[in-house]
Structure 1
Amino acid sequence: MTPRAHSQPLSHVRHQAGMSLIELMIAVAIGLALLAGLSSLYVSTSKARSEFNKTSEQVENGRFALQSITRDIEMAGFYGRSSLPVATTSYALSDPCATAPASMGFSTTPALTVPLPVYGPALASTAPACLPATLATTLPNMKAGAEVLTVSYVSGSTTATPDGNNYYLQRSGCETDSVSMVYSKTAGAFTLHNKAPSGSSVCSTSTSAELRQYVERSYYVATCDVCSGTGADTTPTLKVAEFVNGAIQVSSLVAGIEDVHYSYGEDLDNNGSPDCYVDNPSDVSAVPTACAAAAAAAVPPYTWTASATANWANVTAVRINLLSRNLDNTASWTDTRSYDLGRAAADGPYNDHYKRHVYGTVARIWNTGGLRENQ
């Protein structure tokens, strides 16, 4: 029998043995369980992050749309450095498609006339021609029944020389000028003057009145962002038709805006503050009961007139409610909600997989209401 003097103990031999099949299977099972848990956590976190990004984008789009419209409403009706006298100014019903100076609302005969600060032309029986209901393609452009808000004003910054393409307004600061206002794009037409420097009351033939570029924008909702070509889509989009270089140019402003409703605050007692809100100042037959009562209580009583221009001229605030939609859908979500934008009928339910939210604000028309407050 061979001696075991140099052999290792039997206990040490046992320690060097490999894992048993049962131990290996238990280890694999534990590992798979941990891996499944981590995978589930990763998927859940990714979905949450994706939904958060979608919601953040929708919130940002809704707020930006409100800010853009509000900023223009607050500038609406600004037609020069000295503001327009309330009692001697007439307003012309705005035409968002007009490109000829004679039909854009500016006139000095027989009285000083300017375009309405705000106007909702889509509330008329037909949509403006420059905002077509369909394009030449198969995709629609302007959403059926969409409301349009047109704002008019001149830029807050002055221009030394007209560029020959855009239109400018020049307001006279001198009583000796033959007219009080010039609206043109031709440099030779701007011949009005200001007072002499240093607060003098004397008119200066060497000091020309400043020029301000005319701004006219019409906001509306389209059913597409890119409406033609290979990249055409069906994303609802807030678009703006802007008067630039003597023509109407349409561009996308904010994608994901599905609907916008405007209510117009009427100043019935001429103190600058809105006394009630109507959906359509042009429609005398649809004056809300509350507005009719407020008109009767005004001093002197306010008479709703069949003249659309007169009613629109008394708008001193605009209430804006818009519906913003996620740009990407959520498969696990079905939108069964209804959304109140201030109309008689709510929007929805849409029964699709997009999340939505309503955003709202009230914008003051300072260049109308502010002047009345200071009378």
Structure 2
Amino acid sequence: MKKRIILLVAVATLGLGLSACSKKQATTSSDQPEIAEGMRSDPYRQEEFLLGTYTRLSVYNEGKKEALTPAFAKMRELGDKITINESGSEIDAINEKAGIEPVVVSADVYDLVKTAKEYSVQSKGAFNLVIGAITQLWRIGFDDARKPSQAEIDEALTKLDYNKVQLNDEAKSVYLEEPGMIIDLGAIAKGYIADEVADVLKKEGVTSGIVDLGGNILVIGHSYRGDDKPWNVGIQDPNDARGTVIGSVEVTDKTVVTSGIYERYLELDGVKYHHLFDTKTGYPVDNDLASVSVITEHSMDGDALTTLIFAKGLEEGIKFVEEQATTGTQAIFITHEGKVYVTKGLKENFKLNPDSEYQMAEEE
């Protein structure tokens, strides 16, 4: 990960007059000029390059500018603990002691690792918290990215048994049973951090705001326009990483997370290798999907689910969301052919941009 735990990209259209500061940031627009009592249309906003991306927090409550300070402090604290290949990282400490001894970690890190293992078990490895043996081999997204040899991949595949991650709830310790196992939480960490940052803002009295961690979009409460005005969040075009949206959904107190093949990739001899890996082959996932967006209550869940259902593919991904995901969770699937599929709960909510080149898939 090395200060780049970004895996997911979404673009939000969330209020009047705020233009995107980068291809990964939230933008805002509004059809209504009104401003609710105690709110401001021009939010208190702070941006920093953290977690390997541009992060932005926006607070719309009048007089709550100071809430940004502890929120960013929490973001830095968690990033330092979770990012691998980073001095002082607790995840690095676990990896360094693989096959040697358990490592006691903070409550934050322990809870995150435990949740990541639960997702690994539930998905039978489609999401895998010890994918690090593969991600650190390919290094996609870094200057030293390369295509490993088949022998290297075969060896790394022997280090992906998530059942060999031992957890001790009482001691809050984590132990990797085999040397060479590597925890990499890039597929869930930003979501966890987004949730924790949102909690800090809420404790500071923020009732209307946006947490944008380079594409993990989490909206707090309602729009500044009023209690009955949801946020309008745009869905990123998987063939254009420049902030173009193909459609939008209306949400309140929700998160929208997108995972796609466009954001990070290695191109060799005309072939693009993206950063979402098949834990059975050690190569990037090869299926009919260009991107998946998940709308749910907690960003950590959205983070993990996008990776999990992207790996499952279109048919199995839709089935998983509708049958096994938490109640209220919905998803948008975009195929390489430019077809858009949505789960049942989004039939009326998702609005396709009429100017896009995408088409809603016909119901079978």
TM-score of Structure 1 vs Structure 2, range by shorter chain: under 0.3
| TM-score of the two chains, using structure 2 as the length reference | 0.23
Larger Rg: 1
Report which structure shows greater RCO (CA 8 Å, sep ≥6): 2
